[in-house]
Structure formats: C-alpha cells, structure tokens
Chains A and B, each alone.
Chain A
Amino acid sequence: MIEVEQLSKTYGSYQAVTDLSFEVESGEILGFLGPNGAGKTTTMRILTGYLPATTGTARVAGFDVHDNAMAVRKSIGYLPETPPLYPEMSVEGYLNFVAQLKGVAAGDRPKRIDSALKRCSLEDRRKSLITTLSKGYRQRVGIAQAIVHDPPVIVLDEPTVGLDPRQIIEVRELIKSLAGQHTIILSTHILPEVSMTCDRVTIINKGKLVTTNSPDSLMDELSGGISYVMEVAGQFDQAKEALQAVKGFQSVSETHKPGLPEGHLNLTIVTEGEADPGRELSAALIQQGLGLFEMKRTRASMEDVFLKLTMQDAGKESGQDASEPESSAEDAVTGVAGAEVAAPENAGAEVTDPLAEKADAASPTEGADATTNAEATPSDDSAPSPISEGAE
C-alpha cells in the first residue's frame, strides 16, 4: 500500500532523511519509531505530499507522491502533530468542511460524517464548538478529520501526545479498530505504544533506517543477556571487585536513582548470554559484607531494543548522567527500569516483565501508583519517555 524507496530529504545543509526504504502492507499498522528529530515528521510529510523529497520516490496506494500528488492526497487521511482545527467551527461543521475539501460527494457527506463521529465517540459533541473541547476531544476530532473521507491510508503523527492515560488508551483502541480497512502509519516516540498497537515497527534514527520488524521478533532478537538492578550499601569499587569474580558476569555500572539513601548505590549488572547467576551475585556481595537492599531481574524491553539500536553511534555524545560512558545505553535502560521498582524491602530476586508493567502503568484503574513511579526517565532529550506524557 505504501512503498518508500531510497528517500532522502535535505534542508539546506541538514540531512533530515537519508536513503530511507520501507513498505507497508495493506491493512497493516506500522509504528514509526525514533527519537525526537529523527526524521519521522519529515518522512510523513513527504508521504502526504506536504514536502517534496530531495531524492528517491514514495508511492501511496499505487500513486507516486510527486507525479500524482492529487491522487495521493485523495487517498490519504493525515493527522499532523498539531491537529489542524478551526476553533470557531462546530465539530460537525468542521468535518463537513474537511469532507468537502477532500472531495466527498455532497450526498455521501452526512453518512461519512456520522460514521467518523461514531468511530471517534464524538456523537455527543457534534454541535460543540471546537474551542470549547478538551485536548483529548480535539485529538479525536483530528482523527475524525483524517478518516472522514474513508481513505485507504491514514498517517498519524504522534496521535497520543499530550493526552492523559485514559485518553491514550482510548486513542490506541480507536487506532487498532481502524486497522484492516485502513493502512495506518503511526509515528511515536513512546515505546509501549508501538508494542501495543502496531503490527510492525520501523525504527529510524538521525534520518536513517535502523530496522523494520514486528515488535515481538525485535524483542526476541535483542533480548540476549539478562541484567540485574541492585541497591547496595557500600563502595562501588568494593562491589565491583566482588561481582567480577562471579562466572557469567559481564559489566557493572552505577546509575542514578532518585531518593536513594546516603551511602547506597544503584548498580546495574549485565550478565552473559544464557547465564543467570542471581544466586552467585547476591552471595558474592554479601560475603564482601555489603548490604543488599534490593534486587531485580530484567529482560530486554522495547526501551532496551530501541536504545540499543538508536544509540549504537550516538551513545558517547548523548549527555547521560552516567559515570561510565561506555555503558551509557545500558544506564539509560536501567534508569527506566529501576524507577519502576516499588518494593524496596524485597531483597529477593524478583522477576518482572517491564513491558507488562508498563502496560499496567498506562491504565489508571489497575496501576495508578505505578504511573507515577514510571515517570522518572533518563534526562536525555533523545531518550524515550514511556508514557511520561500520559501521567497527569
């Protein structure tokens, strides 16, 4: 449905997108993932015909975006980063305007508008002026605007930004319900969103394609080593010495954690391949006379995958608050994971799936506390912020 071939875009001397190629099958939801400034919006704007590509081609629904711009525009529904709304119009009036603009025949318009309103649960706001709507409702009007002419392709640029957790879930449900009849590209820098809504994910960084795969196989591919997060009382060097003796040990680093008592360290220990030396690690620390206050085993999450893929060349230059630059990617990962632990007394190894926990955190009914805990994210701007926008 969408074919992108060796697309490049330069703004003056700035290379926004470099040699990007990917495809989206009919009826699929593709997650377009990347840090801020990775070229997501630029790519989407090229697909929608808003920007011309410098080199390369893109075809939407069989039409070339450059040579057949009007046909492409007809077959795309597009929600830009800020919903393009006229505040003085009513919801219905606005949708009627967009339907007319997109070339929906006058006879079909009432039906199309009703169906868009229904899909986006806006029926009770039909007559409301857009200026009176809350942000969540405005976002829904934005999505209604993108589907009102029943386009085969829908392009959504960060559709859940700035919404509260409940609204995020509603918008995600809405997007999922659109799949099948529509082909959807959805950009985001929120990781759980991808694993929850998308069939496939394309990760781009600095305008270059990093990988395209299904969220599950990406996780499988990259979830090699197991790591532990530990809260230890004592000196870092002493702890490192003790841990180094353990078989299967790979590296240890100290990560920042808010609210850590004086003299305590938050350590992230990465172990090799299939080794699972939890018992040995804890024993080594205790034998050294170090206090072990907390221990948690983590597997690779979308965050890990994302950071691993996007920070391979950016790791050293990005300003992490880690003490050891060579492991900054892992630091950032566990900075996220560590913030989720909400049981400090529990000294035993506790196995949690970070992804599942984040899914819970996004739901206000099941994990209102977890939502606030998950707020602490790495300070780097380019790092992903799992649902931090969602929390109020």
Chain B
Amino acid sequence: MNIAVGNWFAIYKRELQSYFKSPLAYIIAGVFWLMAGIFFLVSMGSILDQVAFLDSQQQQFGGPAQPVDVPYLLLQGFLGVLASLMLVIMPMLSMGLYAEERKRGTLELLATSPITNWAVALGKLLAAVTFFLGMLLPIMVYEAVIFASASPAMPISVFFISHLGLILLAAAVLSLGMFISSLTNSTILAAILTFGLALMLWVVEAATANASGPIGQVLGHLSLLRHFNTLTQGIVDTGSLAMLATYIFLGIFLTAQAVETFRFQRS
C-alpha cells in the first residue's frame, strides 16, 4: 500500500509533462488568456461606465450618493465570465487523461504496475489541476494589480476565497471529465460528453432558481454554479466547499471504479 500511494507522483509528473509537450495545451492556454484578458477589459469598462452614469444622475437630480463597490462588482463579474469559459476549456484538459491511455494501450501498463487505480486517478487529476493553476496564475497577477490600486483596497481574503472557489470548480469539472474520459477511448467524445455534463450541472441553477418543492431544492444543490457563487462572494460556506469537494471525490471514485470494471470486460 505504501508504494501504491508513493507512486502517484510518477503519474503526476508524467501527466504534467505531457501537457507541456502537447501543442493543444498551449493553444488552450493561449485562447484562455486571450479571452480572459478581453473580458477583463470589457467588464472593467462596463462597470466604470455604470459608475459614471450613476454619478451623472446624482449630479443632475441630487440626492444621496449611491455607494458602489467597484472592485467587488468587477471581481464577481469577471469570475463569472471565467467560470463560463472554463465550462468549455476544462473538458479539453480532461478529455485525454484516460482516453489517450486507453487508445495507446498504456492503461495495461498502469493496471499491471504496483499502483492502485486511486493513486493513478489522483495523480492525473492533480496534474490537470496544476496545469490549470499555471493558466490562472498570470490572470491573478493582473487582477491583483487592479484590485490593489482600488481605494479602499479589496480585502485579501475575499480575493483568495473567490479564486479558491474558481479552482475548486475547475477541479470538480476536471474530475468529472476524467471519469468520462475513462469510459471511452475517443478523446473528442470525452470532451463533448464532459461539456454536456458540466453544462447540465450549470443550467440546473437556472432551472431550479424558482423551484420550491423538495425535488427542486435537491436539484438546486447539485448546481455547480450556486456553490461557486457563494465562494465568489468571499463567503466561506462549508456546505459549498463540501459539495465541490464531493464532486471532486466522486470523479476520482468513479474513475477508479470504471477502470477496474472496464478492464474486466475487455476480451
């Protein structure tokens, strides 16, 4: 058991290296940075316009000044956009995790090595999350520059908790994507199915927003976005943290089970 857990690092290292050797990963990162940069400027511009409009209204009609928390609005708006972007991008990072191994026959090597399916899945997921962190880091740098120059400056805890929410959301989608990837040896199919599943867990929020029955409430809790939103508000809600962690764990668990089951069925 000791070696089985120790070896996850070999999987982690190889998987991370394979991202850096894959042109697709660079394209994904490039597109992500470009889109994030554009949306950052656009959301900042629109919020500043909004503030200017409120200011001019106040000057025209008088009355008390409306306090507007610009950095907070910007953070929430921008992270919302990033979350939607991730809906498309995360399935592309997770699609190859197992599908590629199945296609190349290397899953047979992993399955006959002294390492448990859990450790393999864990190593792979951590590698994917690490690559996503690499994608997120430059964005966090320019966010930090803007938010630090705001007056009054944004509490640092809000900044970190909201980004933790984003990372957990990414990990949840990657984990579910990894499970789907373990079911097929077609990477494209894995990406499409993961996108579909993530989309479903996304829209469940809108569909159940006004639901009042017990079923509606249960479904509402499945929503990835709802739990993500509580964190972007800077609120450490253990319920939301637990729910996102459950998604991550569920993905790893299902992956380990799927690998075990599918190997038995192959003739």
Contacts and interface: CB of A to CB of B under 8 A. Distances in A.
Given A88-B21, A97-B10, A82 B105 contact: yes
A342 interface: no
Interface in B1-32: 1, 3-4, 6-7, 9-11, 13-14, 17-18, 21-22
Contacts of B13: 97, 100
B21 A103 contact: no
Contacts, number: 80
A70 B104 contact: no
Interface stretch (B107-115, B143-151, B246-254): B107-115
A1 to B, nearest CB: 17
A83 B109 CA distance: 9
Interface residues of A, number: 32
Contacts of A84: 104-109
A102 B113 contact: yes
Contacts of B264: 51-52
A51 B114 contact: no
A115 B178 CA distance: 36
Interface in B100-147: 104-115
A20 B211 CA distance: 61
Nearest to B108: A80
B204 to A, nearest CB: 37
B111 A50 contact: yes
Given A51-B263, A70-B3, A88 B109 contact: no
Given A88-B18, A97-B10, A101-B113, A50 B267 contact: no
Q: In the complex, which of the residues A51, A52, A97, A101 has the most CB atoms of chain B within 10 Å of its own CB atom?
A: A101
Contacts of B1: 70
B267 A78 contact: no
B14 A97 contact: yes
Contacts of B113: 73, 98, 101-102
Give the interface SS of chain B, mostly helix, strand, loop or mixed. Answer: helix
Interface in A76-106: 76, 78, 80-89, 93, 97-98, 100-103
Contacts of B109: 78, 80, 84, 98, 101, 145
B105 A80 contact: yes
A240 interface: no
Interface in B177-224: none
A73 B114 contact: yes
A93 B21 CA distance: 13
A86 B266 CA distance: 22
Contact of B11 (A16, A80, A85, A101): A101
20 contacts: A16-B267, A49-B111, A50-B112, A51-B264, A70-B1, A73-B112, A73-B114, A74-B3, A76-B112, A78-B109, A80-B109, A84-B104, A86-B14, A89-B17, A89-B18, A100-B7, A100-B9, A100-B10, A101-B110, A103-B114
